[in-house]
Structure 1
């Protein structure tokens, strides 16, 4: 039986380990891929140790998304062919029930059905030399344009999720030219991606956060000179509301997208959520896409009187993924070094502990860490 190397998490009490595992074969509806680069988030160690309560079925190969090259495809593949470069989307949905979904190699979802789908059909993720993925989760990347013409590197393309996740929420909120959107907090990986994507979509962006140095980085984004304003939050809902409203020219914003981390809800409703909701104009929409596990309080009558919509968005839709990739290919959205998406380091599978150490230090925009299972 053919084998390959993979990082296997067998217990939350033990370090993730490099093991030799059986190599899968292509079946109907699947593709076998050689992993070239997979992003390692700053919170990866918290997942590996169980500190973050993500649903996993151990032992398991982790790793949610990657850029890979197709090795083999199932007999029902029409467009996907061996040799093609693809982005592997981690959002897997049951083919007979789109409400049943989970994140490949990261989170089994919130239902027994989604957890069974991960456990029995798509158990292993991308921190491996080889990964098996659904055909519909493999987005073909135009290598001639992206790498040849535009000069992107594989690692740049492996960073797509940082922009793709917020793009899903921004598009659903109707963000675009002539609209004002508040992004708060705005200095993390996904929130920074929201600023980058919103600017590319033509919106005026109010980026808010407590980290002044992080806010300064956003001013280098394409379109920032014309349509970006930053607001330093002071953790006072009244003062922050006034500052945000002033940044909108006193007229309020049409949309607000939130990427609060889990820690933000440790002491009740974060003041920035209250301030951002207060700054929305009549008919505005708030999109929750962060990681708060606790309850959040809102001003019921204040929201009702202004016709405010609050929505939550998990990841993005497949049509949105295709749109974003085309935006990059067409040059509408610039990623990579030109947008501050710098590379902190690349590590082989055998260097995972070094990779985790570095990733933990890079919670802001840039300095991204990648696992590179097939060097050379």
Structure 2
């Protein structure tokens, strides 16, 4: 066995991302740990800032980026009872301290909200998935059924392994919707609705049986969502114009003038409150829920009396829990939730570790639904 493996590393803040040889982890694999060979990981939109040394999120250095992946188990600790070498798994990026459920960080991406989370990242799980090997907690590995990757003619689901890289942005919206009780008979507004995470929320809401109102400033990007299963029967789209009252009127009409049960906000990183937010609030019915899942760094205001009279609930939702991942996998296995090219999750490029820095200059991960760009640290599977 080779004594080293290749990984993309940023040694410190303001330094570029470089390919380095790192020492192969010692054997046997420690208790509570899985050693994974990453197969496909998303080349996310933040990768350019890593490549040119301008990344600003709190992380611990040296940093190996790559927040999640589909991978193959190489070895596991002696306490593993289900995971075994050779399993294809989805590696979850949300790492939680075993002695404190309130201490969390995102693998290879975000060091968490305080010193305890940053210590966990630095001392226990310092590396992300842009590497030929990564050590992760056992509980962050979810086995994907073998039949998913078998041909439909042989009774399989006909997926490719790379299709499952999309789980990293499907699950975020899925968890918020499940917690809000979204299902058949409910109406959900998703705004804006044409990005990676927001498009995933639309796909998930339709899979859960809801009527969905997808809103965006781009009608062209909204049209892409019409290929989703259930869209023909239960998807309405609203092109936002920026006038709060006019947009509220259009959103309300799209709900059948009854108002939505849930508004999921998936705003990008902005320092101001976008006009779709107050517009969507006006299009909610009594007892509705507002789920905050975006990246706004701005104050949000609403009318106190209006919120009280309509019994509105406002809830932030960060990432997801293990039960959400299990439920999502079950829904894919049952055919309720469909991934892959049939829902627009195409792959426009796959790059090896030695190609990533050059690739981000021209093909950085796109912010919109589809045309995904992937990193294959161990070559294409």
TM-score range, shorter chain: over 0.9
Provide the residue aligned with 1:296 in structure 2.
300
Aligned residue for 1:60, secondary structure, equals coil
Q: Which runs of 4+ in 1 moved over 4 A?
A: 47-52
1:340 lines up with 2:344 in the alignment: yes
TM-score (norm 2): 0.95
1:130-145 aligned within 5 A: 130-145=133-148
Provide the residue aligned with 1:203 in structure 2.
210
1:4 lines up with 2:5 in the alignment: yes
Provide the rounded CA distance (Å) in 2 between the counterparts of 1:351 and 1:33. 21
156 and 99 in structure 1: CA distance in 2 versus 1, 3 angstrom threshold: same
1:308 lines up with 2:312 in the alignment: yes
User: Which deviations, in whole Å up to 9, do the C-alpha atoms of 1:309-365 show, x marking residues without a partner?
Assistant: 000001111001011011111111110101100101000000012332344362111
User: Which deviations, in whole Å up to 9, do the C-alpha atoms of 1:259-287 show, x marking residues without a partner?
Assistant: 10013xx3x32111111111111100010
Deviates more, 1:7-16 or 1:129-138: 7-16
1:261-300 aligned within 5 A: 261-263=268-270, 266=271, 268-300=272-304
What is the Cα deviation at residue 2 of structure 1?
Answer: 1.8
Provide the rounded CA distance (Å) in 1 between the counterparts of 2:362 and 2:318. 27
Provide the residue aligned with 1:177 in structure 2.
184
Provide the rounded CA distance (Å) in 1 between the counterparts of 2:56 and 2:188. 31
Provide the residue aligned with 1:73 in structure 2.
76
Task: Name structure 1 gaps, 5 residues minimum.
Answer: none
Provide the rounded CA distance (Å) in 1 between the counterparts of 2:305 and 2:81. 53
Q: How many positions carry a matched residue from both structures?
A: 373
User: Which deviations, in whole Å up to 9, do the C-alpha atoms of 1:107-148 show, x marking residues without a partner?
Assistant: 011021111100110010000000001000000011223444
Provide the residue aligned with 1:373 in structure 2.
377
Aligned residue among 292, 303, 321 for 1:317: 321
What is the Cα deviation at residue 298 of structure 1?
Answer: 2.1
TM-score (norm 1): 0.96
What is the Cα deviation at residue 255 of structure 1?
Answer: 0.2
What is the Cα deviation at residue 151 of structure 1?
Answer: 1.1
RMSD of aligned Cα (Å):
1.5
Aligned residue for 2:282, secondary structure, equals helix
Aligned residue for 1:37, secondary structure, equals strand
Provide the residue aligned with 1:62 in structure 2.
65
Deviates more, 1:168-177 or 1:144-153: 144-153
Provide the residue aligned with 1:154 in structure 2.
161
1:166 lines up with 2:173 in the alignment: yes
Provide the rounded CA distance (Å) in 1 between the counterparts of 2:184 and 2:9. 45
116 and 303 in structure 1: CA distance in 2 versus 1, 3 angstrom threshold: same
Provide the rounded CA distance (Å) in 2 between the counterparts of 1:44 and 1:214. 23
Deviates more, 1:39-48 or 1:61-70: 39-48
Provide the rounded CA distance (Å) in 1 between the counterparts of 2:84 and 2:214. 42
345 and 56 in structure 1: CA distance in 2 versus 1, 3 angstrom threshold: same
Provide the rounded CA distance (Å) in 1 between the counterparts of 2:230 and 2:220. 19
User: Which deviations, in whole Å up to 9, do the C-alpha atoms of 1:147-190 show, x marking residues without a partner?
Assistant: 44111111101111121111011101111100000000000000
User: Which deviations, in whole Å up to 9, do the C-alpha atoms of 1:12-34 show, x marking residues without a partner?
Assistant: 43321000011224211001011
1:111 lines up with 2:114 in the alignment: yes
Contact map agreement 2:70 2:165 (CA 8 A) in 1: yes
304 and 64 in structure 1: CA distance in 2 versus 1, 3 angstrom threshold: same
Provide the residue aligned with 1:92 in structure 2.
95
Task: Name structure 2 gaps, 5 residues minimum.
Answer: none
1:244-259 aligned within 5 A: 244-259=251-266
Contact map agreement 1:18 1:350 (CA 8 A) in 2: yes
